[in-house]
Structure 1
Amino acid sequence: MPLLRRLLRPETKRSRTGMPRLDGRSTSAGVSVSPDRALQVAAVFSSVRLLAETGSMLPTGVFQRSGN
């Protein structure tokens, strides 16, 4: 799962309109949730796996045009 961790890792430069940082902030219930901790929940892990497997089946868009 290194690709997922690389995608969820907070970057140093962020625009104000970008997604919120995923750094494990506390919720209103006082529980700190980070990407690594969320993936320990079976429902979250299964959902991420399903989306990743579905996305990996899409064509890559490599075509060669010949003639017109």
Structure 2
Amino acid sequence: MQKLPRSFTPYVFSFYMATIMALLMCGTIVAVQAGFGPGYWASVFKTYVLAMPVAFCCVLLVRPLVLRMVALTVAH
């Protein structure tokens, strides 16, 4: 399997982080608001379609800030 160049690391990280977090958050929010009834997964998917691109952009934007905050609080 061919891998992406190292320069893509921030984008790949952001994509994976956004994918996982958006799915977890959509699943949680739908469960809290509507419960685990019929149509649960359809509702999760419907919200995920909106949330994932938003999460991806947000992770890209805040990543540099978070890296700086970590550097300020964790000893090297």
Shorter-chain TM-score category? 0.3 to 0.5
Task: Determine which structure has the larger helix proportion and give its number.
Answer: 2
Q: TM-score, normalised by structure 2?
A: 0.36
Higher RCO (Cα < 8 Å, 6 or more apart): 2
Normalised by the size of structure 1, how large is the TM-score?
0.38
